[in-house]
Amino acid sequence: MYDVIVLGGGPGGYLAAERAGQAGLATLLIEKNKLGGVCLNEGCIPSKTLLNSAKIYDHARNGAKYGVTAENARIDQTAVVARKNKVVKTLVSGVGAAMKAAKVEVKTGLGEIVGRDAEGVVRVKVGDETFEGRRLIVATGSEAVVPPIPGVKEGMAKGTVLTNREILDLPTIPKTLVVVGGGVIGLEMAGYFQTCGSQVTVIEMLDHIAGAADREMAALLQKAFEKQGVKFHLNAKVTSVGDGFVEFEEGGATKRADAERVLMSVGRRPVTKGFGLENLGVLVERGRIVTDAQGRTNVPGVFAIGDANGVWMLAHAAYREAEVAVNTILGKRDAMRYQAMPSVIYTNPEMGFVGETEETCKEKGVAYRKVTLPMSYSGRYLAENEGGEGRIKLLIDPARNRLLGCHLLGSYASEIILSAGVMIESEMRIDDIKEIVFPHPTVGEIIREAVFHA
């Protein structure tokens, strides 16, 4: 009998298990594949390893404008993938060590929910073994959406059509790559392969890239990508995938793009089927498990965190949801707040954003005023970016004089955006932010500059 059974060993699952174990709860973590889940093995970490290699390569090729010349710079895709695998292996081992330190029992295999008895005890089967727990945390993650486009299934069988999983292990750089979907994963991989020598074409059904990002900032990112050579087709629909090409409709015309490889990156969906969730009567709507602010489902003692609940499909959201769920199990008051959840697109340049966008403000009827500045207002940004066209945008509540949203395009955006998130989370007034001392010279000072311009 366990106090907590956690189903899924991704970011939310393994952290929930660790926190529960550290609190003295008898905890079982069940993972069907590898600890770390998609994020660690097939997403966040491996993609950033590749992107860092591309950044170094880009610096080597274009160092002359900084007074540094490197001859015959090249990228070795085999070596890049090998280093990626080494990094992933190290981190997966670290997760395993953390589970051992927290006295969490780990079981490898597909966990299948058998049911729940009258006393609320949940039974989960792994192979021939059955385990019982007083609480169940569902952290089954998400999977790539593969639309039923003619030719896609055949291309996947041949290895010419890829998802985020396969493209991270691609042994060679294709001459041409078509990315279907201009969201986070699609843009990051488009940036990597364009830098490494592919001719990349991005086909997106919407009239903008970067999903929920501020439209004005997304347009600036697209412009930066186009300067690097990436081709974009917006308001376009892929109709078929053939041998070496992709056909799509744009503006009422049928067009074709060369494609030695195709990346299907049209989104992800929560994994809610295939492990017996229906045996508990858990409410699922639009493919996601419905939860409250504590991660509780409609079934007492059953929680859902991370991508499985579909609220905010980001690893750092899953981390916090894991802590809230475990705190609730321990009887501590806690709740999820999503109004200051930061997001990052790790392209070159990086994009980071938190809080409201102009679009969400208009949808909600929220009054706002904005200020935008070139990132060159930061001395360090100017020193490190020859010809950089980064930008900051702040959205401010004119009545309460508080920060509503912050949007950054430029170097270190992924690190700086946390500062703005803290300001929004704590509801700091603009006058309070003016009193914060930023270290100089840093790119992060751009927030101070923008606040004083506001």
* pLDDT single digits (tens) 192-222: 999 999 999 999 999 999 999 999 999 999 9
Give, in words, the CATH class of 343-453. alpha beta
Whole-model pTM over 0.85: yes
Mean pLDDT for 172-183 is: 98
Helices (H) and strands (E) in the chain, counts: 14, 24
Average pLDDT over residues 409-431: 97
Cis peptide before 300 (omega within 30 of 0): no
Task: Select from 39, 134, 147, 43 the least CA-distant residue to 95.
Answer: 39
* 65 DSSP 8-state letter: G
Q: Find the mean pLDDT for residues 230-256.
A: 98
pLDDT at residue 364 in the model? 97
- Which pLDDT does position 122 carry in this prediction? 98
Note whether 203 and 238 are within 8 A (CB): yes
Cis peptide preceding 441, ω within 30 of 0 = yes
For 65-85, what is the mean pLDDT? 96
> Quick one: average pLDDT of 38-61?
96
pLDDT-derived band at 368 (thresholds 50, 70, 90) equals very high
Q: Are strands 2-7 and 27-31 parallel, antiparallel or unpaired?
A: parallel
Active site residues: 440
pLDDT mean over 345-371: 98
Q: What pLDDT score was predicted for residue 284?
A: 98
Q: Could you report the per-residue pLDDT of 110-151, keeping only the tens digit for each?
A: 999 999 999 999 999 999 999 999 999 999 999 999 999 999
Q: Report the pLDDT value the prediction gives residue 365, as an integer from 0 to 100.
A: 98
Domain with CATH 3.50.50.60 in the chain: 2-144+269-329, 152-266
Residue 175: what pLDDT? Answer: 98
Domain 152-266, CATH among 3.40.190.10, 3.40.50.720, 3.50.50.60, 3.30.56.10: 3.50.50.60
Between the alpha carbon of residue 233 and those of residues 25, 239, 257, 301, 411, the distances in Å are 52, 14, 10, 47, 26
| Tokens describing residue 134 | 């007083």
Q: Which pLDDT score, from 0 to 100, does residue 388 have?
A: 93
Percent of all residues in the chain with a pLDDT value above 90, rounded to a whole number: 100
> In which residue ranges of the chain is CATH 3.30.390.30 found?
343-453
pLDDT at 80: 98
What does pLDDT average to over the chain?
A: 97
Q: pLDDT tens digits for 283-325? A: 999 999 999 999 999 999 999 999 999 999 999 999 999 999 9
Give the C-alpha separation, 233 to 252, whole Å. 13
Q: Which residues neighbour 227 within 8 Å (Cβ) at sequence distance 6 or greater?
A: none
For the domain spanning 2-144+269-329, the CATH number is: 3.50.50.60
pLDDT score for 77: 98
pLDDT of residue 453: 95
Segment 411-422 shows an average pLDDT of 98
Q: Which contacts (CB < 8 Å, 24+ apart) does range 59-67 have?
A: 65/386, 65/387, 66/386
